[in-house]
Amino acid sequence: MRNRPLFIHAARILLCSIWIAALLFPGLLAAGSGSAHAAGKTIVMGTSPDYPPYENVDAKNSGEIVGLDIDIAKAIAQKLGYTLEIKSMDFNGLIAALQTKRVDFVMSGMSATEERKQSVDFSDVYYLARNTIISAKSDGYTTLEQLEGKRIGVQLGSTQEAAVKDVQDATLVKLNKITDLIQELKSGRIDAAIVEDAVAADVAQSNPDFAVNYLPPGSDGYAIAFPKGSDLTDKFNRELEDMKQSGELDKLTDKWFAASSDKKKSSDKFLDFGILKGYVPYMLKGIYVTLLFTIVSALFGFVWGFILTLFKLSRIWPLRWFATAYTSVFRGTPLLLQLFLIYFATPQLTGYDISTLMAAGLAFGLNSAAYLSETIRGGIMSVDKGQREAAMALGIPSSLTMVRIILPQAVKSILPALVNECVALIKESSLVSVIGVQDILRRASVIQATEYRAFEALLFAGAIYYVLVLIMTSLAKMLERRLRRGD
């Protein structure tokens, strides 16, 4: 019972920390955007912007997502009187985003397959694409039969995956992005990649060493995906039909396919950092997102970890049991799984459209607290027991003893471990790119998708992370030296 005031004091610190974070970083607590029902006349589109010319990030200029799908979506939203908001995420998370009502519709070069129709509704087809085989010119594969026994790359969850599943003795390599497939093809890890024709044309324009051969047309075409029973489906179909009849859809298609054909070929050099020209400001903006996310996660994790430590040291067994079970669960499950659960399950269970940054901050803060609770507990236990007994003999309240006497000594002894946790948060922050947070690594992926070259952007991202970690460790050493002066 004597520890109760300390719990209340710690809870107050936690609430104050959250409010400080909200004041300093308003974007963190801002809801992502909300569905059409939550945000009135705003509709939210989900897309994976790594599929030019359908959608990609204009990193050299505005940093906005552009492409054929974006222009079609903007035209329809304007005709229907909606404000369009675009959410970026991985392709294999788009269907989940629809089902959890994180987005109102999806346009991302998505084919209306029978399998997907079991989960979502589709509009009428707005573009009929053909599959193509991309391979080295020296191989020049032209049919699926020639790929028997070969290593074939496809995008995870795409219709190309189903198109090649019956190729005999073939090894299927499934990757998240087209750019990853091209990189695998360049490095010789796969023999051929199967992609859609417009994307293949864009790849061939940048990579003259590749051969592109068309497969016979199938019955599937690209369509707009909606949640089951959405009232937007019929509205979008009417506008799509009007755009087809007026020729507006053909004009948009010609505009983006012509832009794709004008793209310059990529450099032949092994390393050419010249391709980063114009992208550096875009990459550096990712530092703010990474630091914001790291600071808030570390602050939240430390305060919540301290409360868990008090639970573990408490004489009240339910609190001890809760803290022990919490630590076991969060240390025993993958961090990426926790991130997905918080981001996708929160709107489905509560109706609250949690923002990407807030979901990431919560997931990393809760996970970090599980580890820090053990670190802080070790620091508190390392303080000489006689000091606590002396404070009790002098009649000093237990909460004051903890805050003024025990905790400062504990923090001093665990400072290196706290710095290691912050360094780990900075490096692990790259995981948040899977839910569309525009951190450093996500921005490097955007450049990779645009230039079809991986090394330069990834090396630049690695250099930024390394400098951030060096700065943090240097500041920690300065703080440690300052604290040691009082010893």
Q: pLDDT, tens digit, for every residue of 39-50?
A: 458 899 999 887
Least confident of 24-28, 248-252, 301-305: 24-28
pLDDT-based confidence at 96, cuts 50/70/90? confident
CATH 1.10.3720.10 fits 277-485, yes or no: yes
Strands 151-155 and 65-66: unpaired
Q: What are phi and psi of 202, to 5 degrees?
A: -65, -40
pLDDT-based confidence at 334, cuts 50/70/90? very high
Distance between CA atoms of residues 10 and 307, nearest Å: 6
Mean pLDDT along residues 89-101: 81
Distance between CA atoms of residues 239 and 237, nearest Å: 5
Least confident of 18-32, 60-74, 202-216, 404-418: 18-32
What's the confidence (pLDDT) of residue 40? Answer: 55
CB 418 within 8 A of CB 374: no
Determine the residue type at 275: I
Q: What share of the chain is helix, strand, coil (3-state, %, to 5)?
A: 60, 10, 30
Show the DSSP H helices in 217-279 as ranges.
232-246, 248-261
What's the confidence (pLDDT) of residue 34? Answer: 42
* pLDDT tens, residue by residue, 460-472: 999 999 999 999 8
Domain pair 42-128+221-265 / 131-214, same fold: yes
**What is the residue extent of each domain of the chain?**
42-128+221-265, 131-214, 277-485
Mean pLDDT along residues 88-93: 79
Q: Is the pLDDT of residue 74 over 90?
A: yes
CB 210 within 8 A of CB 203: yes
CATH, domain range 131-214: 3.40.190.10
Q: Where are the beta strands (DSSP E) in 183-342?
A: 192-196, 210-214, 225-226
Least confident of 60-74, 123-137, 176-190: 176-190
pLDDT-based confidence at 14, cuts 50/70/90? low
What's the confidence (pLDDT) of residue 112? Answer: 82
* pLDDT tens, residue by residue, 367-384: 999 999 999 988 888 888
CB 44 within 8 A of CB 101: no
* Domain 42-128+221-265: CATH class, spelled out: alpha beta
Mean pLDDT along residues 338-354: 81
Q: What is the DSSP string of 440-463?
A: HHHHHHHHHHHHS--HHHHHHHHH
